[in-house]
Amino acid sequence: MKIEEIKAREILDSRGNPTVATSCLLTDGSYATASVPSGASTGGDEAVELRDNDKGRFFGMGVLSAVSSVNDKISSVIEGMDAKDQKKIDKTLCELDSSLGKENLGANAILSVSIAVAKSQAISDELELFEYLSVKYKKIHGGKYTLPTPMFNILNGGKHAKNNVDIQETMVVPTMKKTFAEKLRAGSEVYQTLKNQLVSEGLSVGLGDEGGFAPDLRTNEDTFKEIERAISRAGYSKKGVRIAVDMAADSIYNKKTKTYHFKGEGRDLDSGRMTKLLKSWAEKYSLLSVEDGLYEKDPHWAELTKTLKPTLSIGDDLLTTNPEKIKEAANKKLAHGVIIKPNQIGTLTETLEAVRIAQKNKFKVIVSHRSGDTNDSFIADLAVAVGADFIKSGAPARSERLAKYNRLLEIEEIINERS
């Protein structure tokens, strides 16, 4: 089908900040909308999110300029194109922008169009979105799709919360051999148990950006102790429900002193001591993974990754869903896995290429939301389409987080009905 109309508008994300939503209408009447998320903790090499910087409107966070990119520049170029030719559409979008970081049109504008086109074509083909994306990815499923394991961020800190915890995300990961529905239940039960536990201890149960609780704790290590107790009290074992962390080390790194500042504990660590600290936590609490354990340009990533094993060392700000950076990281053994965030790179085609290179190099693939998100459940279908190992969508709470988990429940039902 041909693209008949592309139209964008400004909407609000889960933090109350503006973001872009774009709708695509095909000539057969197929119609879909895609909205893009926004991150608080961002890598230096992420594609550029275009903001208006008009301090008199949304404190400079408006995205009317990105909306204009779609309505006044992109639409006239891609309307009339074949919606099925995703690679050509995405290449056209990149060429129209003509910059390395998509700063001219804005990655938020470009991605909204890229995904809206894919969604509308899936509807036109009468395919579930995960099926359509799987075809684009050219993954041979043999009719057998697998569900990613959820990573629930149930205790928030760092840039995601206004508390004294430096660890940005402390997650629970149900790794038992169960259905996705049962894993979601486990995450929810641990989450609710943690809430009651914090209340009984006189601690805050206010929420961070991703729906996890954000209490002030005596030390960062107390996050693990709290969650271990919650896992046990909810009736699960340490082997059945693992703990994972996102240090988001860029946000605590001091470029002048080249040290990591733990504000909650009043101490600074160099790269060597940071690596030792993370290793001690990994061993003591059997951590499944450590994401962004060091600053993205820290030269000690290979040492960290080697030291942490068997705990997975995951790159997010380090790799920014960039195919070339993932390839380099694999060659230099900088990580064991990669976070995949479509808005870090800007188009569906580039996102799929990043996954392809990661899987070719035996990296674990973790498809992820952002801290400022919407009810768009696109990444749930993406994770199933590419056979991702894990998915991060925050706590099992708040509609913008649950939209992804609930969509995966639906996909699981669809898969089971067809088997």
pLDDT digits (tens, 9 = 90+) for 17-32: 999 999 999 999 999 9
Query: What is the pLDDT, as a whole number, of residue 140?
Result: 57
Query: What is the pLDDT, as a whole number, of residue 159?
Result: 79
The bridge status of strand 259-262 relative to strand 267-269 is antiparallel
Rounded distance between C-alpha atoms, residue 266 and residue 102, angstroms: 39
Domain total of the chain: 2
306 and 355 both lie in a single domain: yes
Task: Per residue of the chain (419 residues), give pLDDT as tens.
Answer: 999 999 999 999 999 999 999 999 999 999 999 999 998 767 788 999 999 999 999 999 999 999 999 999 999 999 999 999 999 999 999 999 999 999 999 999 999 999 999 999 999 999 999 999 998 888 655 668 999 999 999 999 887 777 899 999 999 999 999 999 999 999 999 999 999 999 999 999 999 999 999 999 999 999 999 999 999 999 999 999 999 999 999 999 999 999 999 987 889 999 999 999 999 999 999 999 999 999 999 999 999 999 999 999 999 999 999 999 999 999 999 999 999 999 999 999 999 999 999 999 999 999 999 999 999 999 999 999 999 999 999 999 999 999 999 999 999 999 999 87
CATH number at residue 338: 3.20.20.120
Sequence-separated (6 or more) residues with CB below 8 Å from residue 320: 43, 45, 46, 47, 341, 344, 345
Residue that is last in its domain, among 92, 126, 160: 126
Is residue 81 a contact partner of residue 4, using CB atoms and an 8 Å limit? no
Token code pair at residue 170: 């402390």
412 and 286 both lie in a single domain: yes
Query: What is the pLDDT, as a whole number, of residue 141?
Result: 58
Residue 367: CA atoms inside 13 Å, Cβ hemisphere, count?
28
Query: What is the pLDDT, as a whole number, of residue 142?
Result: 61
121 and 153 both lie in a single domain: no
Which helix (H) or strand (E) segment is 367 a member of? strand 364-368
Q: Is 373 helix (H, G, I), strand (E, B) or coil?
A: coil
Domain membership of residue 134 (yes or no) is no
Residue that is last in its domain, among 94, 126, 158: 126
Residues 179-194: tens digit of each pLDDT: 999 999 999 999 999 9
Domain membership of residue 370 (yes or no) is yes
Query: What is the pLDDT, as a whole number, of residue 144?
Result: 81
Domain membership of residue 139 (yes or no) is no
366 and 259 both lie in a single domain: yes
Token code pair at residue 408: 């995966």
Cβ atoms within 10 Å of 302's Cβ, excluding its own: 14
Domain membership of residue 141 (yes or no) is no
Handedness of CA 245, 248, 249, 251 (dihedral sign): negative
Q: Of the listed 136, 325, 341, 392, which one is catalytic?
A: 341
Query: What is the pLDDT, as a whole number, of residue 41?
Result: 66
Residue 210 is a catalytic residue: yes
Residue that is last in its domain, among 75, 93, 126: 126
18 and 158 both lie in a single domain: no
407 and 290 both lie in a single domain: yes
Domain membership of residue 198 (yes or no) is yes
Query: What is the pLDDT, as a whole number, of residue 39?
Result: 82
Residues 122-148: tens digit of each pLDDT: 999 999 999 999 988 886 556 689 999
Is residue 105 a contact partner of residue 96, using CB atoms and an 8 Å limit? yes
Between the alpha carbon of residue 34 and those of residues 28, 82, 231, 391, 408, the distances in Å are 19, 18, 36, 19, 18
Sequence-separated (6 or more) residues with CB below 8 Å from residue 82: 1, 2, 3, 88
Rounded distance between C-alpha atoms, residue 291 and residue 316, angstroms: 7
Query: What is the pLDDT, as a whole number, of residue 143?
Result: 65
Phi-psi region of 53 (alpha: psi -120 to 50; beta: other; left: phi over 0): left
Rounded distance between C-alpha atoms, residue 177 and residue 311, angstroms: 19
Domain membership of residue 48 (yes or no) is yes
Which structural domain range is residue 83 located in?
3-126
Rounded distance between C-alpha atoms, residue 141 and residue 101, angstroms: 33
Which helix (H) or strand (E) segment is 96 a member of? helix 86-97
305 and 383 both lie in a single domain: yes
Domain membership of residue 142 (yes or no) is no
Is residue 227 a contact partner of residue 287, using CB atoms and an 8 Å limit? no
167 and 302 both lie in a single domain: yes
81 and 160 both lie in a single domain: no
Is residue 174 a contact partner of residue 180, using CB atoms and an 8 Å limit? no
Q: Of the listed 210, 226, 296, 400, which one is catalytic?
A: 210
237 and 285 both lie in a single domain: yes
Domain membership of residue 136 (yes or no) is no
CATH number at residue 10: 3.30.390.10
103 and 250 both lie in a single domain: no
35 and 164 both lie in a single domain: no
